[in-house]
């Protein structure tokens, strides 16, 4: 199979843009071939002996099934487009070669990540994508915040990686293999293992049953760090410090999806507790991030929170057992989020040019500084519009299909749940609506209204290569790519492909029709609202002006009211709710992180102190004790010979007395 070759091509592609593009194109073609062969066919599996430790013989190999084939096509596809885009986007950067090198390395590791068949190798690439992401976030290493963000991203990922590693340890311990097929395949080790009397038994090995939950939890922990889920999501917004093309590829489409991918790949390990945890995490994250996105002003930040929110959706879907829907959403999301970022990148890129040309200072990423761009950049606008519609889940887009499926599943699932859990689908709907609103806000603020800079130099449409890549992505945002029936999720071939081995969608008809209709309707209403709020404004675009509009004021007020409410609650230990506010988010998560950092530093200082004064002190004390013994003995050496004699005789006498009279 040609897979090996593309791995090589990718590794070799460390020089220059040409080779990179070429190699990623090769990868794309190869993976397309692979895809067509594997999709809905027999999973393919190749492996070679890697090394043995003790009785474990570890193999490294490639496992191709629907999941990995789909993912690899997705990754290579998105990567190709981003590469294309980057040619133009990064053209003027002085460290271009470094950029291509990193990007190639990333593509290599990401693609390897999705196909490998061994958890340890998976882990290696898992960390490697984290590492390349570190490199790319910190690409502009002269900027302090970029470096900080890179470090933060790496450390956060590392925390998650620990979970992953712990999971690997548990599995290796229990099953003695890390091969994914052997572990999770049909009749694999996991399905054969059973729990009896609180003991988790697999063959001859056994552990307390809690370790099963812990193993799932560990992997889940790894996944939430990578996929930026609450509470380890704080790195992703910061990661926007990297080049936008990178953000689109890594932090929107591929790497962050790796967490979801991992969960999909090792799905059988998760027991009910962890699935429940997934639901909770997913819904909290998606809702929280969506609300945060509502009030952000930085273009990329909005998109970042949106990504977090969408990933939360996927996580939620995973948790409720909608394995297929989650992956479907993953696929569609990859494309439209990538497109969103690329468009945003185009906007920012062009504004940078404009800024240079007009010689004025403003923040190119702040949406308050934009407006009316649809006149200047129609193509970008169109692309962005499609993407946004997909994100909002409007009909005829890919997002509609996938998002709806998740919502439907969640309603299904909720019907079997009681208590607080039954609220999950409503929260999801709410989130979905919030999503519609913030993305509408974004679109209107950026593209409608009038341009908010005084200079009359036109902002230009991005160069053609960028345009081409945008248009390519637009294709993937519309329904036909995924399902011929724009309203029927069930017909989606991707969903079918993924669900083959999981479960069949079964739902009550009424709900199936009602929910999408309702959501769509409200969405449109919200878009309209947003258009009223944001597009009609012109000129300075100050918030006060918005605030005067009573209806919108009301709405805004409510938004902030919630934040204030959380502000109050923040004192009480319900801290996680407080993350609805991005400000608080920074304060708490970052505060915790910084606090942890500081306390670690303090501990470090403390241990240094211990080292220097206590341990060394003891050592030196021993030295001085021996010296003082010497001092005692040498005090007899007075230099007077008669003293010597007296001492000698006294010592002898003492000795005799001790010997014979005691």
Q: Find the shortest distance in angstroms from Cβ 201 to other proteins.
A: 11
Judged by CB under 8 A, the chain residues 326 through 355 that form the site for other proteins are none
Q: Find the shortest distance in angstroms from Cβ 199 to other proteins.
A: 11
Question: Cβ closer to other proteins: 52 or 192?
Answer: 52
Q: What are phi and psi of 64, to 5 degrees?
A: -115, 115
> CA–CA separation, 532 vs 276, rounded Å?
40
Report the candidate in 255, 305, 311, 257 with the shortest Cα–Cα distance to residue 132. 255
Among 71, 168, 215, 280, the residue binding other proteins under the rule CB under 8 A is 168
Judged by CB under 8 A, the chain residues 64 through 103 that form the site for other proteins are none
Q: Find the shortest distance in angstroms from Cβ 535 to other proteins.
A: 41
> CA–CA separation, 468 vs 472, rounded Å?
6
Among 159, 427, 430, 552, the residue binding other proteins under the rule CB under 8 A is 159
Judged by CB under 8 A, the chain residues 415 through 434 that form the site for other proteins are none
Q: Exposed, middle or buried by CB within 10 Å (0-12, 13-18, 19+), for 645? A: exposed
When asked if residue 357 is in the footprint of other proteins (CB under 8 A), the reply is no
What tokens does 257 get? Answer: 């999806």
490: number of Cβ within 10 Å? 16
Q: Segment contacting other proteins (CB under 8 A): 158-166, 334-342, 449-457, 579-587? A: 158-166
Judged by CB under 8 A, the chain residues 175 through 234 that form the site for other proteins are 205-207
Q: Find the shortest distance in angstroms from Cβ 224 to other proteins.
A: 16
Among 4, 12, 169, 518, the residue binding other proteins under the rule CB under 8 A is 169
Judged by CB under 8 A, the chain residues 367 through 386 that form the site for other proteins are none
How would DSSP label each residue in 30-97? HHHHHHHHHTTS--EEEEEEEEEETTEEEEEEEEESHHHHHHHHHHHHHHHHHHHHHHHHTTT-TTHH
Straight-line distance from the first to the last Cα atom of the chain, in angstroms, rounded to the nearest whole number: 94
Binding mask 112-141 for other proteins (x = CB under 8 A): --------x--xxxxxx--x------x--x
Q: Find the shortest distance in angstroms from Cβ 216 to other proteins.
A: 16
Instruction: Specify which residues 456 forms β-bridges with.
Output: none
When asked if residue 447 is in the footprint of other proteins (CB under 8 A), the reply is no
When asked if residue 151 is in the footprint of other proteins (CB under 8 A), the reply is yes
The answer to whether 274 touches 221, Cβ cutoff 8 Å, is no
Question: Cβ closer to other proteins: 231 or 463?
Answer: 231
List CB contacts of 290: < 8 A, sequence separation 6 or more: 305, 306, 309, 431, 434, 435, 438
Tell me, rounded to whole angstroms, the distance of Cα 651 from its chain centroid. 80
Question: Cβ closer to other proteins: 252 or 255?
Answer: 255
Judged by CB under 8 A, the chain residues 597 through 616 that form the site for other proteins are 597, 600-601, 603-608, 611, 615-616
Cα diameter, the chain: 118
Among 1, 25, 147, 522, the residue binding other proteins under the rule CB under 8 A is 147
Q: Find the shortest distance in angstroms from Cβ 479 to other proteins.
A: 40
What tokens does 89 get? Answer: 């986007």
Judged by CB under 8 A, the chain residues 399 through 418 that form the site for other proteins are none
Q: Find the shortest distance in angstroms from Cβ 239 to other proteins.
A: 15
The answer to whether 95 touches 243, Cβ cutoff 8 Å, is no
Three-state SS letters, 343-402? HHHHHHHHHHHHHHHHCCCCCCCEHHHCCCHHHHCHHHHHHHHHHHHHHHCCCCEHHHHH
Question: Cβ closer to other proteins: 551 or 655?
Answer: 655
> CA–CA separation, 559 vs 18, rounded Å?
48
Exposure letters 158-182 (e unless 16+ CB within 10 A, then b)? ebbbebbbbbbebbbebbbbbbbbb
* CA angle, residues 442, 332, 318, in degrees to nearest 5: 105
Q: Find the shortest distance in angstroms from Cβ 211 to other proteins.
A: 8
> CA–CA separation, 344 vs 635, rounded Å?
86
Among 174, 281, 350, 410, the residue binding other proteins under the rule CB under 8 A is 174
Report the candidate in 466, 252, 253, 476 with the shortest Cα–Cα distance to residue 379. 466
Question: Cβ closer to other proteins: 147 or 522?
Answer: 147
> CA–CA separation, 186 vs 501, rounded Å?
9
The answer to whether 556 touches 546, Cβ cutoff 8 Å, is yes
Q: Find the shortest distance in angstroms from Cβ 142 to other proteins.
A: 6
Judged by CB under 8 A, the chain residues 291 through 320 that form the site for other proteins are none
Q: Find the shortest distance in angstroms from Cβ 259 to other proteins.
A: 17
Among 155, 465, 471, 529, the residue binding other proteins under the rule CB under 8 A is 155
> CA–CA separation, 493 vs 507, rounded Å?
18
Query: What number of chain residues touch other proteins (CB under 8 A)?
Result: 82
Q: Segment contacting other proteins (CB under 8 A): 317-325, 524-532, 536-544, 618-626? A: 618-626
Judged by CB under 8 A, the chain residues 1 through 60 that form the site for other proteins are 49-56
**Pairing verdict, β 194-196 and 56-64:** unpaired
Question: Cβ closer to other proteins: 25 or 201?
Answer: 201
Among 42, 142, 196, 509, the residue binding other proteins under the rule CB under 8 A is 142
When asked if residue 173 is in the footprint of other proteins (CB under 8 A), the reply is yes
The answer to whether 181 touches 117, Cβ cutoff 8 Å, is yes
Q: Find the shortest distance in angstroms from Cβ 325 to other proteins.
A: 31
Question: Cβ closer to other proteins: 45 or 158?
Answer: 158
Q: Find the shortest distance in angstroms from Cβ 14 to other proteins.
A: 12
Q: Find the shortest distance in angstroms from Cβ 466 to other proteins.
A: 29
Q: Find the shortest distance in angstroms from Cβ 521 to other proteins.
A: 48
Judged by CB under 8 A, the chain residues 569 through 598 that form the site for other proteins are 597
Q: Find the shortest distance in angstroms from Cβ 48 to other proteins.
A: 10
Question: Cβ closer to other proteins: 138 or 282?
Answer: 138
Q: Segment contacting other proteins (CB under 8 A): 36-44, 146-154, 354-362, 415-423? A: 146-154
List CB contacts of 235: < 8 A, sequence separation 6 or more: 149, 152, 153, 155, 156, 157, 228
Our separate counts of H helices and E strands in the chain read: 28, 5
How would DSSP label each residue in 526-567? HHHHHIIIIIS--TT--HHHHHHSHHHHHHHHHHHHHHHHHH
Question: Cβ closer to other proteins: 125 or 534?
Answer: 125
Question: Cβ closer to other proteins: 366 or 590?
Answer: 590
Judged by CB under 8 A, the chain residues 623 through 662 that form the site for other proteins are 623, 626-627, 629-631, 633-642, 644-649, 651-652, 655-656, 659-660
Question: Cβ closer to other proteins: 149 or 373?
Answer: 149
Question: Cβ closer to other proteins: 545 or 631?
Answer: 631
Q: Find the shortest distance in angstroms from Cβ 368 to other proteins.
A: 29
């Amino acid at each position: 199979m040609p897979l090996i070759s593309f791995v090589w091509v990718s590794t070799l592609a460390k020089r220059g843009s040409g080779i990179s593009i070429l190699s990623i194109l090769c990868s794309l073609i190869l993976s397309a071939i692979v895809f067509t062969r594997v999709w809905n066919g027999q999973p393919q599996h190749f492996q070679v002996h890697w090394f043995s430790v003790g009785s474990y013989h570890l193999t490294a190999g490639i496992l191709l099934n629907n999941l990995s084939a789909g993912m690899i096509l997705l990754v290579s596809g998105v990567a190709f487009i981003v590469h294309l885009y980057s040619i133009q986007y990064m053209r003027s950067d002085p460290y271009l070669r470094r950029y291509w090198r990193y990007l190639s390395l990333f593509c290599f590791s990401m693609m390897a990540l999705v196909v490998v068949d061994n958890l340890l190798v998976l882990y290696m690439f898992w960390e490697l994508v984290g590492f390349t992401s570190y490199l790319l976030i910190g690409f502009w290493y002269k900027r302090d915040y970029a470096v900080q963000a890179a470090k933060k991203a790496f450390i956060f990922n590392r925390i998650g990686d620990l979970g992953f590693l712990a999971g690997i340890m548990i599995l290796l311990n229990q099953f003695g293999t890390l091969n994914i097929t052997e572990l999770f395949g049909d009749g694999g080790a996991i399905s054969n293992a059973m729990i009896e009397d609180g003991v988790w038994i697999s063959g001859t090995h056994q552990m307390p049953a809690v370790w099963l939950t812990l193993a799932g939890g560990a992997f889940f922990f790894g996944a939430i760090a990578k996929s930026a889920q609450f509470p380890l999501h704080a790195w992703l917004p910061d990661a926007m410090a990297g080049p936008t093309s990178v953000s689109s590829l890594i932090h929107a489409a591929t790497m962050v999806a790796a967490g979801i991918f991992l969960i999909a790949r090792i799905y059988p390990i998760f027991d009910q507790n962890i699935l429940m945890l997934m639901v909770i995490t997913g819904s909290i994250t998606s809702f929280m991030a969506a609300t945060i996105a509502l009030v952000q002003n930085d273009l990329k930040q909005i998109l970042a929170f949106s990504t977090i929110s969408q990933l939360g959706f996927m996580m939620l879907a995973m948790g409720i057992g909608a394995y297929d829907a989650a992956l479907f959403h993953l696929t569609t999301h990859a494309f439209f989020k990538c497109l969103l970022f690329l468009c945003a990148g185009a906007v920012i890129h062009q504004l940078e040019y404009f800024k240079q040309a007009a010689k004025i200072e403003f923040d190119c990423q702040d949406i308050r500084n934009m407006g009316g761009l649809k006149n200047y950049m129609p193509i970008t606008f169109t692309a962005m519009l499609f993407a946004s519609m997909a994100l909002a889940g409007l009909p005829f887009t890919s997002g509609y299909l996938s998002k709806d499926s998740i919502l439907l599943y969640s309603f299904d699932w909720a019907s079997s749940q009681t208590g607080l859990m039954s609220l999950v689908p409503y929260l999801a709907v709410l989130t979905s609506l919030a999503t519609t609103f913030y993305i509408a806000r974004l679109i209107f603020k950026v593209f409608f209204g009038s341009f908010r800079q005084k200079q009359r130099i036109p902002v230009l449409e991005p160069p053609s290569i960028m345009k081409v890549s945008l248009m390519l992505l637009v294709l993937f945002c519309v329904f036909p790519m995924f399902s011929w029936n724009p309203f029927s999720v069930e017909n989606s071939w991707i969903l079918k492909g993924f669900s083959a081995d999981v479960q069949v969608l079964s739902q009550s008809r009424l709900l199936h029709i009602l929910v999408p209709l309702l959501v769509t309707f409200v969405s449109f209403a919200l878009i309209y609202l947003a258009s009223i709020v944001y597009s009609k404004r012109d000129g300075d675009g100050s918030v006060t002006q918005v605030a005067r509009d009573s209806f919108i004021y009301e709405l805004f007020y409510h938004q902030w009211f919630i934040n204030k409410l959380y502000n109050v609650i923040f004192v009480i230990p319900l801290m996680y709710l407080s993350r609805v506010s991005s400000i608080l988010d920074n304060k708490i998560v970052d505060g915790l992180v910084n606090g942890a950092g500081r306390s670690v530093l303090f501990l470090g200082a403390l241990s240094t102190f211990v080292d220097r004064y206590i341990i060394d002190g003891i050592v030196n004390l021993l030295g001085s004790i021996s010296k003082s013994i010497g001092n005692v003995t040498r005090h007899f050496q007075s230099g007077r010979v008669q003293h010597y004699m007296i001492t000698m005789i006294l010592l002898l006498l003492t000795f005799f007395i001790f010997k014979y009279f005691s």
